[in-house]
Structure 1
Amino acid sequence: MKLSSLIVGAASVAVLGVAAQAETVTIATVNNGDMIRMQHLADHFTKDHPDIQLEWVTLEENTLRQRVSTDIATDGGQFDVMTIGTYEVPIWAEKGWLVALDDLPDSYDVDDILPAIRGGLSVDGTLYAAPFYGESSMVMYRKDLFEAAGLEMPDAPTWDFIADAARKITDKDKEIYGICLRGKAGWGENMAFISAMANSFGARWFDMDWKAQFDQPEWKEALTFYLDLMNDAGPPGASSNGFNENLALFQSGKCGMWIDATVAASFVTNPDESTVADKVGFALAPDKGLGKRSNWLWAWSLAIPKSSDAQDAAKAFIAWATSKDYLELVASEEGWANVPPGTRTSLYENEKYLEAAPFAKMTLESIKAADPNHPAVEDVPYVGVQFVAIPEFQGIGTAVGQQFSAALAGTTSADAALANAQSLTERQMRRAGYPK
């Protein structure tokens, strides 16, 4: 039990009763900038809730997913609040692993949550996680490098334009690389990017009979395009780079373009953190002319596992950390441009935010454009843009990501990576009993 009693002397008990310690809420979260900021501001919560103590477990993205997945599947009870995403929430809620958030106070204003984000965190209309920030993906680019190369970024670029521009602005002697893209293996790391990219090339994970599609020409075109682009215009060691590594490269002026989460916009334009803050432009994620852009849909959200023995206290924390008041708090401490984006309609109606955040409208447009119910050019039997919303995807996606990361590192070929991806996916899907 996390709620324990102080052991006091008999005389004290007789006079004062047993004094209770503060109830501890253990929070598992990811080491992204917005979550680090939340920890720094959490004193505001504990000041108003002296009976609640917060304990933080902050982990790298892949490690976080492993830890919370193991804990909830085994009913481990290590955490009272878990930072999970749009992939896990509906699957875990249907298994009965999460506490419903159906009794948040009226002041929380659940209806203010963006419909696309709220829908991904609900089952049968019931919310099972509250979004801390929501995102799609977009192009972030160096306007000064484009101008020097005589290039102009379209609002809605194609992949061919991106590839040509990346090669033109690369200057490896100056350690400026035309493009930085995720290469670190993981279903939510390189496969989030590559899956969304592949959608725009006409590829899909499975056909309507749940047959893996890595042996199809669309996947070969997409993966080969990615590998060639990164080999020509990407940074060295890219197979080890995820979100945080590419963020650091971009902020230090070493990336001409970065295609990644819209949430990164506030970090690359923050002059306290980015050496190129005043030189950044934004564009929609690229397409291949087939009717699908390569932008994803995601929300890092806070949820309560059924195994928690501090559910009420955990719910109070979640209501605070994902509220409109929290956005106001961040704005007062850090400025409007740094509030967690992508969750609330009211934020995108706030003139102070729109003035402070030049990326706001592009972020909202990208979120609205993502369609998890129709993620690919052709029909698919699954939902999810950069993931497949089935329990088996977590293992399959990471295994495929390892194959593609190895191809980027040069330890295997594109053809071999795709062949291995096909065989391991077929094997795992057969074991899981598909088609069902």
Structure 2
Amino acid sequence: MPIPSRRRPRAIAVAAAGTLLAPLLSGCWTGAGGAGSGGDSLNVLMVNNPQMVELQKLTRDHFTKETGITVNFTVLPENDVRDRISQDFANQAGQYDVATLSNYEIPIYARNGWLHEMDGYVAEDTAFDQEDILEPMRQSLTGDDGKLYGQPFYGESSFLMYRKDIFEKLGLTMPEKPTWEQVADFAARIDDAENDMKGICLRGLPGWGESMAPLTTVVNTMGGTWFDEDWNARLDSPEFEKAAKFYVDLVRSHGQSGAAQSGFAECLNNMTQGKTAMWYDATSAAGQLEADGSPVKGKLGYAPAPVEKTESSGWLYTWAWGIQNASRNTDKAWEFVSWASSKEYEQLVGDQIGWSNVPAGKRASTYENPDYIAEAASFQEMTREAIEQARPTDPGVQPRPAPGIQFVGIPEFTDLGTEVSQEISAAIAGRQSVDSALKKAQELAEQISEDYEGR
């Protein structure tokens, strides 16, 4: 339903549910009682992506054995985990000591007083080496007061993945810095190059962090924005319209079947199974595509996020650990957080699971580790460059009223982005025109404008 133009502050803050970048797996419950933790026990609420699932076993076999701290994990699909986190943290119920939060939520939660700051722990825990955390990640997890409220588990930007063998077969050469027009031309020429292969996979699944994430980067580089610096909604601007039509036309003409219901997980499957030749998405996907046993391991090339009017266009995202302010066990919570975000943990994953599975994208030292470089040689440097070039406070061609590349850093964006994505998805499915979708989207965004004008 439409977003009301005015909300009570608590209602605005609690609106923190949506879909971002993790593959959708079935959820599971592995502990966490209802009365909160205490003593030598922690309750951790986290998203169910593959790297988090690996973390559970390693925590039991290493962290708990070394510290005596039992960690009870509640692991849920992304939409569900965001709902659970927002409820528990907004009410400061204290049921969960630690939760996975993104660089979208952490500044908002910090502003509301829901998170425990980490500066004191970082200052005392010199072994953690806070300066090793990549600067864009440090900045994105800092509150308005300049204090640190999160530590990244892994970080990512976005880039273009493509089949080198298919390009070579067709005599095509990927530019060092491709434009979206070049990508569209490649997609048209690649269609049906091999066993009904499609030229490109792009997310069309509704969700503020599903289809809206890549589409918003296209909007940025083509000169558009959700809001101008005075909070005027700009979804009906020529630039936003151009980007939306380009994206919808590209995926309808040369994209995967069922595009309107395809998200990260579906595009990952299509790329792995050889059903598509290009995929624009999260840099974190490369580790799965290049993992042992992947049918496309060694066949892929990587290029920066395509651009038009900007120098770069990749997004910035991290799943990070936040400590609830109401936790009765903040010191032990930091012990877990610092371990799960540490160099030590990355070494453990590399040794026991494989270096392509390391939760990278957060530490400079990872990209200097010879073991990681050897296994992730095809994508590791491109990933680091994409993260370091991300510009969350200046992602387009005009000033913005709030930070964010693939999102607008305000609480209302969870609802707004999701509702707009539903309209765009309907256009991808052919149920309405892009013009019709953007007309409805503009009306939704104008309701937000009314609430922010003059701030």
Fold-level match, TM-score > 0.5? yes
In the alignment, is the contact (CA less than 8 A) between 1:131 and 1:301 conserved in 2?
yes
List gaps (5 residues or longer) in structure 2. 1-34
Counterpart position of 1:243? 264
Aligned sequence identity (%): 44
The alpha-carbon deviation at position 137 of structure 1 amounts to: 0.4
Counterpart position of 2:441? 421
Of 370, 385, 391, the match for 1:351: 370
Where in structure 2 are the equivalents of 1:35-434 lying within 5 Å?
35-43=52-60, 44-50=62-68, 52-102=69-119, 103-104=121-122, 105-123=125-143, 124-171=145-192, 174-272=195-293, 274-288=294-308, 290-358=309-377, 359-430=379-450, 432-434=451-453
How many residues are aligned here? 415
The alpha-carbon deviation at position 377 of structure 1 amounts to: 1.1
- 1:84 counterpart SS class: strand
What is the root-mean-square deviation in Å for CA atoms of aligned residues? 1.8
In the alignment, is the contact (CA less than 8 A) between 1:199 and 1:292 conserved in 2?
no
In the alignment, is the contact (CA less than 8 A) between 2:310 and 2:396 conserved in 1?
no
Bigger mean CA offset, 377-386 vs 224-233: 377-386
In the alignment, is the contact (CA less than 8 A) between 1:81 and 1:314 conserved in 2?
yes
In the alignment, is the contact (CA less than 8 A) between 2:221 and 2:397 conserved in 1?
yes
- 1:148 counterpart SS class: helix
- Per-residue CA distance 1:197-239 (angstroms, 9 max, x = gap): 1101101111121011011111111111111111111112122
Q: Which has the larger radius of gyration?
A: 1
- Per-residue CA distance 1:271-307 (angstroms, 9 max, x = gap): 32x211120110000011x124331011110111123
CA distance, structure 2, for counterparts of residue 435 and residue 193 of structure 1: 30
- 1:204 counterpart SS class: coil
CA distance, structure 1, for counterparts of residue 95 and residue 421 of structure 2: 28
Letter in 2 for 1:371: R
Aligned pair in 2 of structure 1 residues 3, 392: CA closer, same or farther (>3 Å)? closer
What TM-score do the two structures reach when normalised by structure 2? 0.87
Aligned pair in 2 of structure 1 residues 308, 229: CA closer, same or farther (>3 Å)? same
- 1:155 counterpart SS class: coil
In the alignment, is the contact (CA less than 8 A) between 1:32 and 1:244 conserved in 2?
no
Q: Give structure 1 regions of 4+ aligned residues with deviation exceeding 4 angstroms.
A: none
CA distance, structure 2, for counterparts of residue 24 and residue 201 of structure 1: 50
The alpha-carbon deviation at position 173 of structure 1 amounts to: 8.2
Counterpart position of 1:30? 47
What TM-score do the two structures reach when normalised by structure 1? 0.91
In the alignment, is the contact (CA less than 8 A) between 1:133 and 1:300 conserved in 2?
yes
- 2:100 counterpart SS class: strand
List gaps (5 residues or longer) in structure 1. 5-21
Letter in 2 for 1:279: K
CA distance, structure 2, for counterparts of residue 69 and residue 368 of structure 1: 29
Letter in 2 for 1:390: I
The alpha-carbon deviation at position 423 of structure 1 amounts to: 0.1
CA distance, structure 2, for counterparts of residue 400 and residue 3 of structure 1: 39
